[in-house]
Amino acid sequence: MDRIWRDARSIGDLGGAMAGWLEGHIDSQPGCSAGPDDETLPRVPVLARLNRRGFVTTDSQPGLDDVAFDGRPWTQRAAVQGYIAVGDPLLPRIIRAARAAGLIVTAHGAGRAVGPRRGVAATRWGSEPHTGFGGRSGRGWRRSALPGIGRRARRQMAREGVALAVIDPVWGRDDVLWSVLDQAIGYTTEEAVS
């Protein structure tokens, strides 16, 4: 694993490293030696922007309506989850923007509790829930997330980290979540061309 993870001193450092991994500048991330999944590649720009602004994304998926290998329907809600410091001004901006757009938000940890305590189903295989995003995570789980990160970053994650998830409630839709997140960080398409 790249030394940048062991040298991380803060959640912000982790966000910079995660952005570098997403963009292919860093070979691996804690718990994963490969690059982002193919389904993630179209979302790399917005995910990298989120990470650089302080929201360390650990999982994401696009909205999808497809067929699984066994012929059963495979449906996903667009979703993202990760960690952000409780005092980061981006946290309330993401919560406000997501709620205004009708998205599901969970934010738990460091004295904060928003949204459902249990995870929200984000993938269905046939008619059965397969994976979930969000929900309450204990301090121990925040300590064990991202194995191999620096002690200072781990300490900040345990003391100040909020597990944040934003999930589109509409199965298969993939054109709302990502623009809402860009709106929350203040990104505009004009930034892309300048």
Whether 18 and 35 have beta carbons less than 8 Å apart is answered as no
Confidence of residue 75 (pLDDT cuts 50, 70, 90): very high
The yes-or-no verdict on residue 194 having pLDDT over 50 is no
Confidence of residue 142 (pLDDT cuts 50, 70, 90): low
Confidence of residue 92 (pLDDT cuts 50, 70, 90): very high
pLDDT in tens, 164-178: 999 999 999 999 999
The yes-or-no verdict on residue 47 having pLDDT over 90 is yes
pLDDT of 188 reads 73
What mean pLDDT do residues 82-98 have? 95
What mean pLDDT do residues 95-117 have? 88
How far does Cα 83 stand from its chain's mean position?
7
Residue 179: both structure tokens together: 């623009």
What mean pLDDT do residues 20-32 have? 86
* Number of domains, the chain: 1
With a CB cutoff of 8 Å and minimum separation 6, the contacts of 157 are: 11, 14, 83, 142, 143, 145, 146, 149
Strand partners, 163: 83, 108
pLDDT of 5 reads 87
The yes-or-no verdict on residue 119 having pLDDT over 90 is no
The yes-or-no verdict on residue 108 having pLDDT over 80 is yes
Which domain range does residue 153 map to? 3-193
What mean pLDDT do residues 144-148 have? 73
pTM: 0.90
Determine what percent of the chain is predicted with pLDDT higher than 90.
Answer: 62
Enumerate helices (H) and strands (E) in the chain, giving the number of each: 8, 9
pLDDT of 2 reads 67
What mean pLDDT do residues 133-140 have? 70
The yes-or-no verdict on residue 190 having pLDDT over 60 is no
